[in-house]
């Protein structure tokens, strides 16, 4: 395992080496998850690329630290990890809040972003009332009180009825997150609005959404794609908010096709 202290928090990350000269891909995870949600995508891409994934501040094995957490602070954390790992310009793939972090990283450190893959995300997610209510619920009853409402947003009805062991595992992942870290990122989502910055994105961008996403529905991600000059939109059937769990093979194929279409790409065997 790899750890890095950034300001007042120790952050957990993992680097999987790839062929010399191949692109690097960075994965940023969703609220209430850790980087294991990307596992079934990473195993399909390993050996072709250098891969970096990490637990954002307050999630997984990463500490929350002190003071307010913002999307800008999350992006600073990711930049510090990329710099420490010696990863220069990379394809940054972010899911949900991870997609906002990816957009913020592009705004703040364009030298680190060669392309964007924005999964099940937006320039602004939810409103202040939604996030304030969620913060209050966690403060009063803990994260477990949210699970019954969040699982249908994350996963399709088919997944919840036929893949019950996995559903139990991802419910446990959510419930074991740090309450303070979860609340801090809820506040970051509440306060973030990158819609104007999305219109200024100037790197190749792919937007992806699960057809049955209950958190950032197809219309929301379509609006994001329309606001980014030259971006593409892919809709994944049979997936909710976390297609890297429900449909990793399809998401991996979409990612590979996008990368193969980038200018000056290396040959992928």
Mean pLDDT of 144-173: 98
Q: What is the mean pLDDT of residues 233-242?
A: 98
Among 55, 58, 59, which Cα is nearest to 67's? Answer: 58
pTM for the model stands at: 0.96
Pull the structure tokens for residue 44: 């399909």
**Closest by Cα among 254, 262, 103 to 189:** 103
Among 94, 239, 93, 234, residue whose Cα is nearest residue 154: 239
Indicate the pLDDT class of residue 267, thresholds 50, 70 and 90.
very low
In angstroms, the CA 218 to CA 209 distance is 6
Q: Strands 113-119 and 90-95: what pairing?
A: parallel
Which two three-digit tokens encode residue 51?
Answer: 């891969």
Within its chain, how far is the Cα of 133 from the centroid?
23
Tell me: the pLDDT tens digits for 25-43? Answer: 999 999 999 999 999 999 9
**209: enclosing H helix or E strand:** strand 205-210
Tell me what the mean pLDDT of segment 198-213 comes to: 98
pLDDT the model gives residue 235: 98
Kindly tell me if the per-residue pLDDT of 266 is higher than 60.
no
Tell me which fold the domain 2-260 belongs to. Rossmann fold (3.40.50)
Tokens of 100: 């906002």
Query: In this predicted model, what pLDDT tens digit does every residue of 68-98 receive, in sequence order?
Result: 999 999 999 999 999 999 999 999 999 999 9
CA angle 175, 170, 240 (to 5 degrees): 120
Decide: 97 and 125 in contact? Cβ < 8 Å: yes
Structural element, H or E, at residue 220: helix 218-227
How far is residue 196's CA from residue 108's CA, in Å, rounded to a whole number? 14
- Residue 164 in this model has a pLDDT that exceeds 90: yes
How far is the C-alpha of 191 from the C-alpha of 97, rounded, in Å? 12
What are the tens digits of pLDDT across the range 111-133? 999 999 999 999 999 999 999 99
Q: How confident is the model at residue 263 (pLDDT cuts 50, 70, 90)?
A: confident
Please tell me the total number of residues recorded for the chain in this structure. Answer: 269
pLDDT digits (tens, 9 = 90+) for 167-186: 999 999 999 999 999 999 99
């Amino acid at each position: 395992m790899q750890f890095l202290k950034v300001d007042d928090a120790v952050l957990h990350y993992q680097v999987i080496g790839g062929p010399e000269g191949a692109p690097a891909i960075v994965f940023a995870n969703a609220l209430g998850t850790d980087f294991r949600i990307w596992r079934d995508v990473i195993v399909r891409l390993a050996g072709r690329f250098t891969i970096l994934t990490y637990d954002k501040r307050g999630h997984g094995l990463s500490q929350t630290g002190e003071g307010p957490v913002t999307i800008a602070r999350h992006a600073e954390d990711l930049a510090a990890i990329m710099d420490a790992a010696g990863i220069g310009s990379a394809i940054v793939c972010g899911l949900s809040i991870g997609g906002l972090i990816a957009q913020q990283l592009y705004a703040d450190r364009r030298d680190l972003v060669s392309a964007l893959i924005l999964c099940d995300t937006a320039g602004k997610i939810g409103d202040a009332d939604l996030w304030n209510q969620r913060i209050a619920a966690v403060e009063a009853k803990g994260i477990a009180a949210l699970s019954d409402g969040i699982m249908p947003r994350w996963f399709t009805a088919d997944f919840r009825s036929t893949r019950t062991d996995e559903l139990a595992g991802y419910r446990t992942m959510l419930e074991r997150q740090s309450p303070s870290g979860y609340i801090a990122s809820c506040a970051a989502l509440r306060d973030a609005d990158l819609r104007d910055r999305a219109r200024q994105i100037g790197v190749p961008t792919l937007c992806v959404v699960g057809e049955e996403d209950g958190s950032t529905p197809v219309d929301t991600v379509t609006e994001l794609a329309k606001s980014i000059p030259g971006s593409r939109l892919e809709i994944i059937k049979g997936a909710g908010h976390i297609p890297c769990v429900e449909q990793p093979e399809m998401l991996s194929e979409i990612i590979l096709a996008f990368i193969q279409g980038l200018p000056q790409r290396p040959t992928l065997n």
